[in-house]
Amino acid sequence: MSGPSDYQPSNPALQWIERRLPIFGLMHSSFVAYPTPRNLNYWWTFGAILSFMLGIQILTGVILAMHYTPHADLAFKSVELIVRDVNYGWLLRNMHAVGASMFFVAVYVHMFRGLYYGSYKEPREVLWILGVIIYLLMMATGFMGYVLPWGQMSFWGATVITNLFSAIPYFGESIVTLLWGGYSVGNPTLNRFFSLHYLLPFLIAGVVVLHVWALHVAGQNNPDGVEPKSEKDTVLFTPHATIKDMFGVACFMLLYAWFIFYMPNYLGDADNYIPANPGVTPPHIVPEWYYLPFYAILRSIPNKLAGVIAMFGAIIILCFLPWLDAAKTKSSKYRPLAKQFFWIFVVVCILLGYLGAQPPEGIYVVAGRVLTVCYFAYFLIVLPLLSRIEKPRPVPNSISDAVLAKTGSRSTPMVSTAIVLALAGSLFAGSVDSAKASEGSDQPPGNKWSFSGPFGKFDRGALQRGLKVYKEVCASCHGLSYVAFRNLAEPGGPGYSVAQAAAFASEYKLKDGPNDAGDMFERAGRPADYFPSPFPNEQAARAANGGAAPPDLSLITKARSYKRGFPWFVFDFFSQYQEQGPDYVSAVLQGFDDHVPEGVTIPEGSYYNKYFPGHAIKMPKPLSDGQVTYDDGSPATVAQYAKDVTTFLMWTAEPHMEARKRLGFQVFVFLILFAGLMYFTKKKVWADSH
């Protein structure tokens, strides 16, 4: 995209087109012959990674939109049906949901890289500002996408974020009404968010084109921050940069696949598996992780309007970065002070993110205020000041000099590493304290589940026994409305034959109609029918159960969780622990106790349960020894019942779990081979350039 090219395709047909529309020349000069600095490191592959992620998001998104229903009453269910019934729907959904997070991981790395190497400085100001615009568009897109599944967090996230605009004086309220299309967040809101969520990615793609154009006019920055002067300073984009980017993308895909196949819910919130309910706010509203630093800034300011201004200001300030930091030396490699402050700033951002996920009380509020000040101080005080007082080290004459002198200069990172470690250590210590403080509430004990880990499979016997427990005990109050009888015969399930599932279905009497005479009638269940719910609607369920409606159990093991706290959530990433839900469900089933400990008062009509939040549960003790008879000789104890029914409910929550883990293994084998291949190809291509 940099000026006319003298490239001529050899094929006459292509020549014919080229004379009328010089598109091949454009491609050739932008992505083949384009000179790229030869000293770029792997942080520069994130541009390619981001383009790749944008492509993936648009592709999976378009297919998902073919199956999704944007209606307040149907959206939640339609997402569940995508996951359960659409071919590879679970894969598409995981790719899209995790993909949003990965997109932000990559964009944050990309932005911090720009910050560190001064990529926003003369002559790249417009390039940088276009990047900030892309980032803003991404945030809007991500937020609206999160609303579409219409779970509790979707709904309340939408409520909180749209209400931010009500802080604007005079016009605030009317802007909010305009966003909602009604008097509160509701069906019109969902519809317009769907429309905009489909539109914005294409706007992003458009701005990306401008971003790349500006990049190719100004040329890429590089780790040494000196502009290329001669042929010796650059290499051709293809094959050098292309193959390096491919290797970068392959490595990034390994991380991406880890989440898709092994921890799809790690980055999400359990509350979003509860359908939206405008009458109940979840006790603790958290946005998606990538907004957390800004959410922390919002909350740390006790005034509504000021909080909103600070939050948006924290992003807008990035646009002014090229003028706030007036230092002539671009790369922090040659700026000893700037380098250290950069790492402090990274830690401040991470800590703000951590605080954004904590309840707004006590020490967290104070820490949030301190860090908010640090965040703004970096831009408004540190950077302008440094550009005046700092004495940078001399920069190399040219890129090729820098490449040749690629020794030494390895000692300075020590200081910043020490700072990072100290801060991480204090965070660790702080969270251990808070973990101690919260020990009063009982953590469910961990269990050994057959389905945990990368090769986990459901225990067929447990699934069949669990189904029996559900049918004989739980089903009198709890529905299982996303599960159809036909699912019982599907691979990865309890392992019944189609005939057995049909026979199981025919034991149920279902209401159908109206028939030709306009009457409702009863008929035997068919495999295509769903498990009938015990109550006609939520009101009836409430009335029959003393005010608390028994929740539907289809998703219960994914919709319940408990807090893991700081060091644990890091370990969980590596150990693939994600059985909080099952652990909690089985603990609640066994946590009943007639003997109420001192200091706990249980209101009339509730029962004491050790693991239920608040300890007062409306459900009476459901299971007792010997209540359900097992034909296979398994012990008829509460512990065994709890284990079996929880396994069964894990299957109902994710019927394709075995397929997910199986495919995950294959994908990993492929990706590792592919990344290795790319690595050695890259070595070969670059052999004479180092």
Partner 1 sequence: MNPDASTIAAGAPIEVDLSPVAEGQDIKVFWRGKPIYISHRTKKQIDEARGVNVASLPDPETDEARVKSGHDQWLVVIGICTHLGCIPIAHEGNYDGFFCPCHGSQYDSSGRIRQGPAPANLPVPPYQFVSDTKIQIG
Q: Does 192 bind partner 1 (CB under 8 A)?
A: yes
Give the one residue of 183, 231, 439, 522 binding partner 1; rule: CB under 8 A.
183
Nearer to partner 1, 105 or 308 (CB): 308
Size of the site for partner 1 (CB under 8 A): 36
CA distance 63 to 152: 24
Nearest-approach distance from CB 623 to partner 1, in angstroms? 32
Nearest to 290 by CA among 370, 371, 378, 356: 356
Q: How many CB atoms lie within 10 A of CB 631?
A: 8
Nearest-approach distance from CB 649 to partner 1, in angstroms? 28
Nearer to partner 1, 208 or 308 (CB): 308
Q: Examine residue 239 and say whether the peptide bond preceding it is cis (omega within 30 degrees of 0).
A: yes
For residue 533, give the amino acid letter: S
Give the one residue of 181, 384, 430, 534 binding partner 1; rule: CB under 8 A.
181
| Cβ atoms of 454 and 257 closer than 8 Å | no
Q: Does 542 bind partner 1 (CB under 8 A)?
A: no
CA distance 568 to 582: 17
The secondary structure of 595-631, three-state, reads CCCCCCCCCCCCEEECCCCCCEECCCCCCCCCCCCCC
Residue 20 makes CB contacts below 8 A (sequence gap 6+) with none
CA distance 637 to 657: 27
CA distance 240 to 226: 20
CA distance 260 to 267: 11
Nearest-approach distance from CB 549 to partner 1, in angstroms? 15
Q: Does 178 bind partner 1 (CB under 8 A)?
A: yes
Tally the residues of the chain: 690
CA distance 524 to 230: 82
Binding mask 582-621 for partner 1 (x = CB under 8 A): ----------------------------------------
Interface stretch with partner 1, choices 173-181, 423-431, 433-441, 589-597 (CB under 8 A): 173-181
Q: Does 184 bind partner 1 (CB under 8 A)?
A: yes
Interface stretch with partner 1, choices 86-94, 174-182, 395-403, 538-546 (CB under 8 A): 174-182
Nearest-approach distance from CB 275 to partner 1, in angstroms? 16
Give the one residue of 123, 182, 413, 565 binding partner 1; rule: CB under 8 A.
182
| Cβ atoms of 629 and 531 closer than 8 Å | no
Nearer to partner 1, 152 or 640 (CB): 152
CA distance 550 to 543: 11
Give the one residue of 186, 396, 461, 532 binding partner 1; rule: CB under 8 A.
186
Q: Does 212 bind partner 1 (CB under 8 A)?
A: no
Q: Is 1 annotated as a binding residue?
A: no
Nearest-approach distance from CB 160 to partner 1, in angstroms? 4
Of 318-377, binders to partner 1 (CB under 8 A) are: 360-361
| Cβ atoms of 499 and 506 closer than 8 Å | no
| Cβ atoms of 649 and 531 closer than 8 Å | no
Nearer to partner 1, 97 or 286 (CB): 286
Of 274-313, binders to partner 1 (CB under 8 A) are: 278-285, 299, 301-305, 307
Q: Is 319 annotated as a binding residue?
A: no
Nearest-approach distance from CB 195 to partner 1, in angstroms? 10
Interface stretch with partner 1, choices 100-108, 177-185, 202-210, 390-398 (CB under 8 A): 177-185
Nearest-approach distance from CB 361 to partner 1, in angstroms? 7
Interface stretch with partner 1, choices 160-168, 482-490, 514-522, 581-589 (CB under 8 A): 160-168
CA distance 325 to 327: 6
Nearer to partner 1, 182 or 567 (CB): 182
Please report which residue ranges of 317-390 form alpha helices under DSSP H. 321-324, 336-356, 363-377, 383-389
Q: How many CB atoms lie within 10 A of CB 548?
A: 13
Place of tokens 């009888």: 485
Nearer to partner 1, 543 or 570 (CB): 543
Nearest-approach distance from CB 542 to partner 1, in angstroms? 13
Please report which residue ranges of 11-88 form alpha helices under DSSP H. 12-20, 23-31, 46-67, 75-85
Q: Does 575 bind partner 1 (CB under 8 A)?
A: no
Q: Return the structure tokens found at 70.
A: 């944007």
Give the one residue of 24, 156, 343, 375 binding partner 1; rule: CB under 8 A.
156
- Phi/psi of residue 598, each to 5°? -65, 150
CA distance 522 to 509: 6
Q: Does 163 bind partner 1 (CB under 8 A)?
A: yes
| Cβ atoms of 597 and 311 closer than 8 Å | no
List contacts with partner 1 (CB under 8 A): 156, 159-160, 162-164, 166, 177-186, 188, 192, 278-285, 299, 301-305, 307, 360-361
Numbered residues of the known binding site for heme c: 474, 477-478, 619
